[in-house]
Amino acid sequence: MSRMTIGVLGCGSMSSAIVRGLHKESKAYEYFTFTPSHTRAEKLAGAVGGTAVRDVRDLKNKDFYLIACQPQQFDELATMLHGVLTEESVAISVLGGLTIGHLLQKLSPCRYVARAMPNTPCMVGEGVTALSFSKELRDRDKMVVSDIFSAVSRVFVFDDEDQIDIITGVSGCGPAYIFEFARLMIDKLREMGIDERYVESMVKQTFYGSSKLMTDTPASPEKLRNEVTTEGGITARAMIAFEEMNLKRAIETAVDLAYARAKELA
């Protein structure tokens, strides 16, 4: 059976995670990579037995195109793709904020577009990807797109594209919130004199173990929190601080601002 071909446009951390993860899971795809500086295209192609091309025009007639440059580099790339994409091409964008309407307009005559919002845990095969499809995209292509992201993440499909912008501020940016929380805990332990050899690994393991507990058991985060929090106990005292400092408000504001920024970029 012939393999499906994917043109990879932009080979940064996100597309590399997806392509490497997919290659590990399935040998059904053949990769053709492109970046302006060529270096990262060669590196990624080398890792997955693919081909790095120096000219975008060498990417004609591929089954799928994974678009993974920065959003502000997209207009330049779209111009380069004139004459490469046809009415039958399927373009998959991971670009934050760029709407399906905008993609269809810039990538014309391409009619088939998938908008994806993956996150960096895709690098370890544990990502979350939100997907939305252009109206005309055929069911068989929707399935392939879902399969591509399933190799590195759990996939959630949204009919209402606006929900991708909302979810971006949680699953897309969420890893950064968690890393920031961990960083602050590390700093605090250091400040309180805990042995430097232990600080980072203790905090990382606390996050890892808690995440595993949360995903491996059916209990809600609220129930799990209650199990750690005895009335009048040590955790309860810490929780009072969260409440007094209005952690809820801080998180709500962060998500609202991320959503507003996604809209701005769109």
Ligand X SMILES: NC(=O)c1ccc[n+]([C@@H]2O[C@H](COP(=O)([O-])OP(=O)(O)OC[C@H]3O[C@@H](n4cnc5c(N)ncnc54)[C@H](OP(=O)(O)O)[C@@H]3O)[C@@H](O)[C@H]2O)c1
| Residue ranges that bind ligand X, judged by CB under 6 A | 9-15, 34-37, 40, 68-71, 73, 76-77, 94-96, 117-120, 172
How near is the Cβ of 222 to ligand X at its closest, in Å? Answer: 27
Give the tokens for residue 118: 């993956």
Q: Which is nearer to ligand X, 76 or 187 (CB)?
A: 76
Q: Which is nearer to ligand X, 134 or 171 (CB)?
A: 171
Q: Which is nearer to ligand X, 48 or 68 (CB)?
A: 68
How near is the Cβ of 130 to ligand X at its closest, in Å? Answer: 9
Give the N- to C-terminal CA distance of the chain in Å, as an integer. 40
Please tell me the distance from the alpha carbon of residue 30 to that of residue 61, in angstroms, as a whole number: 13
Q: Which is nearer to ligand X, 70 or 226 (CB)?
A: 70
Q: Which is nearer to ligand X, 196 or 264 (CB)?
A: 264
How near is the Cβ of 16 to ligand X at its closest, in Å? Answer: 7
Give the tokens for residue 191: 């400040």
Q: Which residue is nearest to ligand X (CB)?
A: 12
What amino acid is encoded at 33 in this protein?
A: T
Residues 6+ apart with CB under 8 A from 107: 78, 81, 85, 89, 91, 113
Phi, psi dihedral angles at 94 (to 5 degrees):
-110, 15
Residues 6+ apart with CB under 8 A from 22: 29, 148, 151, 152
Residues 6+ apart with CB under 8 A from 227: 219
How near is the Cβ of 179 to ligand X at its closest, in Å? Answer: 11
How near is the Cβ of 7 to ligand X at its closest, in Å? Answer: 10
